[in-house]
Structure 1
Amino acid sequence: MSDNTESLEPQDQPKSAPENRASEGPLDESEANAVRPYVDLGGVKILPRQELHLRLEVEEASKRVVAVGLDYSGSTLQIQPFAAPRSSGLWHEIRQQIIEQVHTQGGTTKVSEGPFGPEVFAEIPVAGAKSDEKRMARFVGVDGPRWFLRGVIAGEALTDADAATKIEDLFRSIVVVRGNTPMPPRDLIPLHMPATGEKESQA
């Protein structure tokens, strides 16, 4: 399936999100239930649930948290929140960058319409492995108010419908905390360790 929006300039790109995003998620902090027991990771908040395990991915050189990994029901979901313009979206541009990067690595991609809008299914050769060994991943993205949330899905959710539904519900439950600090579009919204008392096993 071809993507017909990639030729537009970034400032012309409409926001890409489900019509019911503001009620069904992923949510902006202003849309979330303030009394729910979220685990606060800075740029995102995670709603604890049974068998959900949280991992923070840290950049070695800077010691900066650059992504949140969620292990759930045989699948993994990596999420990253980015600052975005108020009126235009980033997913069309970032989606094309993902496609180009995968192709550069010798992989293949397929763009299709999913529950969150356009998404990318990628098969990427595993470096140093057998020539026929590939890593599969599903890239999803949602443009919110002044933020963009990217998700990378792997594991059972790629081949099992029930597992896919669970990981999609997990992605919808994410709350993005943009904050009021001025940030250039595409900058990663700062992430941090959970506050004292919020154990990773709870998330």
Structure 2
Amino acid sequence: MADGDGAGRPVGGMGEAGRAAQAVVAQYVRDGFLTPESVARAEFDVWDRTTPGRVLLVAVQVVLALRQEDGRTDLGRPVPGLDAEDARLMIRTLLRDPAAAPETSRRDLITLDRLLELLASLIAEESLSEEAVDALLEAAEESCLAVGPWDESDDRRPRDVELTDLGGLLVPTEPGLKIELMRSRKDGSLAGVTLMRGRTAIQLQAFRALGDTSWATVRADLARTMRSRGGSAEERVGPAGPELQAVVRIQGPPGKDRQTVRVLGHDGPGWILRGFVTGLGAEPDSTEEWPYDTFQGTVVRMPADPLSTDPLIRLRWPDQGR
């Protein structure tokens, strides 16, 4: 058996997710439609790990970004199954244009079949060989694997990043960053951390994934709660995967009783990391990358007791021992 890197990928080769994405692309290009087997293989609705669907999404983003560098932001030919306006919206959103994301989400444009339609059109327009497509998918897979948030036990996590050790969370730090620990109203324990830079803040909390709890179920519950309390919540796909763009009710005089937030989330091995972004970085048109870099650079340390039913992963002050 060939040596690997622990992610199902032979050294110097493509991993399981990349190979499955390769098979999905080949089947779609050959047949012009997705078979049920390819749909199942892609796992397009799974975000807790690197899946073929994520590899395909990143591959499209890579090609679009390269075209954008050349000054080409529109396709030179129609995309089968997509009208011109929908194709432009998809491309703008995949290039992380915040102004396009809400309408793309409302129309539910970024689906697996549309993504394959777009990728196939890009392959044809760029005259990419089979070898070039394989190289693209391998690079996309590598990019997916290099992104957190991280479990403390993950050997792939970067070691050259300065982290502040808060017990259950290790968070990226930098000069000028303000850090505030949050206490639980119930028992006074440290329940989360807020990091602030300029006029943007991100609040981080980690939870055990008990039962069938996942970021998808937490996200749906949060959206329902926000709407039931007079706010709004819209799901979108951001740099860290599915997130909520929301407006929540807060205490304050009329006109100042609402706050715009972005809610990020990630499923790890046995845990869920959640991040509430507020301030300028939460606005719908914000292109600020710092909250996402902080979220994706965070390391989660599971408590030692595997039988605990406490959902919250507690923190500690940095100068205390484990």
Class of the TM-score when normalised by the shorter of the 2 chains: 0.7 to 0.9
Q: What residue in structure 2 maps to residue 82 of structure 1?
A: 207
Give the aligned residue type for 1:51: G
Judging by fraction of residues, say which structure has more strand.
1
| Conservation of the 8 A alpha-carbon contact between 1:143 and 1:149 | yes
C-alpha RMSD over aligned residues: 2.7
2:144 and 2:303 mapped to 1: Cα distance?
19
Judging by fraction of residues, say which structure has more helix.
2
Structure 2 SS opposite 1:30: coil
Q: What residue in structure 2 maps to residue 168 of structure 1?
A: 292
Structure 1 runs, 4 residues or longer, greater than 4 Å off: 33-37, 183-186
- In the alignment, structure 1 segments of 5+ residues that lack a partner are 1-13, 197-203
1:156 and 1:117 mapped to 2: Cα distance?
20
State the TM-score, normalized to the length of structure 1: 0.78
Structure 2 SS opposite 1:92: helix
Tell me whether 1:46 sits opposite 2:174 in the alignment: no
After superposing the two structures, state which structure 1 stretch, 178-187 or 49-58, moved more. 178-187
2:310 and 2:195 mapped to 1: Cα distance?
22
Give the aligned residue type for 2:316: H
Pairwise CA distance, 1:129: 1.9
Bigger Rg, which one: 2
Per-residue CA deviation, residues 55-107 of structure 1 (Å, 9 max, x unaligned), is 00112441111111110232100011111269x76111101110121112111
Number of aligned positions between the proteins: 182
Give the aligned residue type for 2:166: L
2:262 and 2:308 mapped to 1: Cα distance?
27
Q: What residue in structure 2 maps to residue 62 of structure 1?
A: 187
Pairwise CA distance, 1:158: 2.1
Structure 1 SS opposite 2:247: strand
Match of 1:30 among 153, 178, 183: 153
1:135 and 1:186 mapped to 2: Cα distance?
30
Match of 1:152 among 260, 276, 282: 276
Give the aligned residue type for 1:81: A
| Conservation of the 8 A alpha-carbon contact between 1:15 and 1:90 | no
Percent identical residues: 27
- In the alignment, structure 2 segments of 5+ residues that lack a partner are 1-44, 51-142
| Conservation of the 8 A alpha-carbon contact between 2:162 and 2:174 | no
State the TM-score, normalized to the length of structure 2: 0.51
